[in-house]
Amino acid sequence: MPHHLLQVARTLNRHGQRLTQPDRQQAYLRRAVSTAYYAVFHLLSREAASLLSTTHTVHFSRGFDHGTMKDCCERFYPGNTAPAAAGAGTTLNVQVKNLGALAMPWEVSVVAWNFVQLQGSRHAADYNYTQPVTAGQAATALSRAEQAFLLWGQVANDPVASVFLGALTTWPTLKKRS
């Protein structure tokens, strides 16, 4: 399903970019942004749920909370800015609460960053009707989702990627530990 959602986001974005009627264009662009976010949400929640069970992944993936995932993802990139364009195979030193210092693959940090950025974009697209979603904003959201899928595919088998998924799974409890 996550890959299908990404394809739907592409289609919505493509149609929205071509429309000239403002109301219809806004509907398509807002849906494209929202669907791009949900594609990444479902990618990560399913991947994390697969650590718990290979037969009940869909059931466990329904237990993930958007805000909790955002809070966890914010811990997996250094500082308050996008991870530097270090490139594939590069590691970043990231201090994650209750997990300690991690040699974080750059790809995991970018996936986490994109998730946080996409969630903010989705909130604006779904709830802030005072500001239009521009074609550029929709294209940026789609690019972030596509990058998250691409990078996740490259790093999914890395042991630190599993630590990231484990943190997504247990973050409500893990963040409370001292």
pLDDT digits (tens, 9 = 90+) for 119-130: 999 999 999 999
22 vs 58, residue with greater confidence: 22
Residue-wise pLDDT tens digits, 86-109: 667 777 878 887 788 888 889 999
pLDDT tens-place string over residues 123-168: 999 999 999 999 999 999 999 999 999 999 999 999 999 999 999 9
Question: What is the model's pLDDT at position 65?
Answer: 81
**What pLDDT score does 125 carry?**
97
31-89 confidence digits (pLDDT tens): 999 999 999 999 999 999 888 766 666 666 677 888 999 998 998 887 766 777 766 77
Query: What's the mean pLDDT when you consider all of the chain?
Result: 89
- CA 46 – CA 58 distance, rounded (Å): 7
What are the start-end ranges of the E strands in 4-160? Answer: 91-96, 100-105
The whole-number pLDDT of residue 60 equals 66
Give the per-residue SS3 of 117-166.
HHHHHHHHHHHCCCCCCCHHHHHHHHHHHHHHHHHHHHHCCCHHHHHHHH
Closest CA to 118 of 161, 155, 97, 149: 149
Say if residues 156 and 54 touch (Cβ distance below 8 Å). Answer: no
pLDDT for residue 178: 60
